[in-house]
Amino acid sequence: MKLPRTPTFSLDGKRALVTGGSSGIGLGAAVALAEAGAEVTLAARRAETLEQAVAALRAQGWAALALPLDIADIETTGACLAATEPFDILVNSAGLARHSAATDTIASDFDAVMDVNLRGAYFLLQAVGKRLIEAGKPGSLITISSQMAHVGGVDRAAYCGSKHAVEGFTKAMAIEWGPHRIRVNTICPTFVRTPLTEPTFADPERVAWIEEKIKLGRVAEVEDLMGAVTFLASDAAAMITGTSLLVDGGWTAD
């Protein structure tokens, strides 16, 4: 009897781009991909922090490069990616949150959130996808979305709107690019302890709300997402596209 073989989680020989890669979830994703064998390019706005992150990865013997980049600047991002070799893997972890009651949302905050979470994400995936199609290469494009792409949340109308929209274009891109063997998915975490979420964890009422909703009884750490990143990037997820992987501790199980 011929037994089936487990697909490989190895990313040897792959080139990966991680935006928002200088800290938090993005840095965790970069470590996970590098550990699996990929050459990882970390992209972020803060050049000094970015160089520190790259140096830390290299100190572990991993292949890492720095790319100062603001995905909200879609023209510069597009030109930069058009001039590079295509990336086999993208993890877009760049994100922005400006929370307020829906009645208090101001246009500048709304626009800032959408410029990064939606507009920037859309055209980043477009740029990476186009290079893969031009080169005739398969790929795995992953956006770090949120459980808030599937539910609502107090003071999060703009943020939820941006993440719900990401789920929509993810499905559409997956349909269009499937024939090119390019997979497009999201990872949707619950609240993760990162610099982005520090203001939330400083509010006792918000902490109580979070702890009540997460069925596993704790908030997530960056390490909780690293296996999901490696999985979706690898051939082990070769038949997964156009969907979201919820890493939410059961938040959306209700």
Q: Rounded to whole angstroms, how far apart are CA atoms 223 and 39?
A: 20
Q: In what order do the strands lie in the sheet with 139-144?
A: 64-68, 39-44, 15-19, 89-92, 139-144, 182-189, 244-247
Q: Rounded to whole angstroms, how far apart are CA atoms 237 and 16?
A: 16
Q: Rounded to whole angstroms, how far apart are CA atoms 146 and 220?
A: 12
Identify each DSSP E strand in 84-148 by its residue range: 89-92, 139-144
- Catalytic residue numbers read 159
166 and 118 Cβ atoms separated by less than 8 Å: yes
Contacts of 44 (CB under 8 A, 6+ apart): 19, 20, 21, 22, 23, 26, 50, 53, 68, 69, 94
42 and 52 Cβ atoms separated by less than 8 Å: no
Contacts of 70 (CB under 8 A, 6+ apart): 45, 76, 77
